[in-house]
Each structure stands twice: as C-alpha cells, then as structure tokens.
Amino acid sequence: MAFALSTMQVTSTAFGNHQAIPAKHTGEGDDVSPALAWQGAPEGTKGFAVICHDPDAPLVKEGSYGFVHWVLYNLPGDVTSLDENTTLGTLGMADFGKPGYGGPMPPEGHGSHLYYFWVLALDEQTTLPEGLTLPELLSAVEPHLLGMNRLVGTYERA
C-alpha cells in the first residue's frame, strides 16, 4: 500500500492539531515525548510505528528533507496510546545522532515550524532491531502498511 492518509485519528492531551507544542516537550524544556493516542486503526492492524518529523528544518540529508525527531516501532496492535515520556516500543535513530525522542528546537529566528507526529498501522507485529533510521524503518514497514495519519504541532524557538 502507498503511504496515504487513512481515517485513523491521532490526538494528544498536550496540544491540539496545528496548535503550539508546550515547551516541556521541546529541546528548550524537559525534552520529553508528548502523550499520544489514536483510534480508528484499519481492520487487521497488528502493530504500530510512530514518527515525529519537521519538514520545515533547513536540512537535506541523504536525499531527504527536514529533521527526524523521533522514530519508535515494534508497538503491539492493542496499544492505542503512549504516555508522556513513554518507554514502550523500540527506539530508532533521530537526526540528533542518537536513538530516542528529541524535541522541537528550530534554529533561532527561523519562525514557526510544523511537527508531524505520524502513527503508522501495520498488518503485522514487527520485531525490528533498535536504532533504525527513518528510511530504514519505512523500507521495512511499507509492505505491511494498512493506514496512517498524523497530528501536527507547531513550535517557534523563543
């Protein structure tokens, strides 16, 4: 299946769609991942992956644009939410050069950036190794993708 939006809904108790991400969840704050929840996963979903990506970052790396803040996978199909600063799942490599969540922190004076928190619904429970980059994860899960959707937050560095 191609990467296309599904009817799955993604929300957070920390911020609303196209609303400001609280400083607590940024590189200027406590740098902890926000709570996320999703509903309406496609029938047959057996696993999930979560990605946070900033397409507004002035960076082109290995042919892709933006900045990857979070890659999380191997989430079971019965998981429909993540607590703040979650320990669930397997951590992939963020563009900070380390696995785990790294919150928004656009360059000073660069204005407001958009942060896409994607949830991918998969037709199998994955057992992928820790430390995959976003391209590696997408290559591994694309054949198993049933649907996806996102929550978009904004952040402007003070």
Distance CA 155, CA 63 (A): 25
The pair of structure tokens assigned to 67 is 């900045």
Distance CA 94, CA 102 (A): 7
| Tens digits of pLDDT across the chain (158 residues) | 456 678 899 999 999 999 999 999 999 999 999 999 999 999 999 999 999 999 888 765 655 678 999 999 999 999 999 999 999 999 999 998 999 999 999 888 888 999 999 999 999 999 999 999 999 999 999 999 999 999 999 999 87
CATH architecture of 9-147: Alpha-Beta Complex (3.90)
Give the per-residue pLDDT at 64.
Answer: 64
Q: Hey, what amino acid is at 53?
A: H
